[in-house]
Amino acid sequence: MKSFLFFIFYMLSSLNCYSQYDINTPNTIDDKWRLRFYLSHSYTTYYNTDIKFSSSRYNVTIKNYQWLERGSREFFHYAKWAEQGNNPTQIIDEPSNTFVLSIERNNHEFFLSVFHPKFLQNPEQIAYMKGTIDGIEVDGVYNINRPFDGYNQFPGEMELVRNENTHREMLFEIGYDYRFKLLDAKIGNITYVPSIGVGLSCGKNLVVVVKEDEWWEFDNYKQKSEVQGFGGSITNRIEFNTEKERFGIFYENKLSYYKQNHGFIDGNQKYNLKLIGNSVGVKFMI
């Protein structure tokens, strides 16, 4: 509930920041439709969340479960492309990039956004959990994945080695924004663009766990591509555009909130995905 209220407060704050827009500014009618393409890279922060695992082995709720970003920014460097098995096109797929196609008329803009987040479990976290693991009741603070020396495992331990949402992980959103021109000059203009969008999250979850009653054997579970959840985003963007807006650069701040429910081993995992992305990018008039 606190997360939802925070989301609403953030939206209202975004709207308020331009509510004092000069009402005496003359309105000009422009009936021309404009098609734009945006691309950017995001530095993303994922917030802790309560998570519930349900499967034949795990039926447990964990408080303040931690996700980490996998930015994959090494793929922006030539040295990474040159490695065997890699190629320059991975600059599109590997980092956390966003691609947006929009259509605008008289400052009213509608868009389709595709964001490629990559988040995975913090393997070193210690958290409170309650439920059963391999039929053993747990209620307390435990390691999610206790450092392993070969012979120190006990029944009821989590031993969740990996829980990753990176492969084909996407947030697809449709939304609306309004363009406020803050400063106009011969060389270009500065424009503020607040927006709101709703959409679906999709991806292929990967889980790796130590096999029950084993020390050195692991089970790998790769889920099929699936719709993982639904939610929305609030975005604030500042653009610098050339005189006729054929080209521009921008900074963008995005707050997203998604209700997630997707595969985990032979069951599912439920949690709230909360993230803030700070992006820099370029835009083109098509």
pTM of the predicted model, to two decimals? Answer: 0.85
Beta-sheet pairing, 97-105 with 49-54: unpaired
> 151 falls in which pLDDT band (50, 70, 90)?
low
Examine the pLDDT at 80 and tell me if it is beyond 90.
no
Examine the pLDDT at 14 and tell me if it is beyond 60.
no
Q: Could you read off the pLDDT of 165-195 as tens digits, one per residue?
A: 998 999 999 999 999 999 999 899 999 999 9
- Which pLDDT belongs to residue 11? 47
Examine the pLDDT at 22 and tell me if it is beyond 60.
no
Instruction: Write the single-letter amino acid at 268.
Output: N
Q: Could you read off the pLDDT of 202-238 as tens digits, one per residue?
A: 999 999 998 887 777 888 999 999 999 999 999 999 9
Polymer length of the chain: 286
Examine the pLDDT at 6 and tell me if it is beyond 50.
no
- Which pLDDT belongs to residue 30? 67
- Which pLDDT belongs to residue 126? 94
Nearest to 105 by CA among 203, 157, 176, 155: 176
- Which pLDDT belongs to residue 284? 94
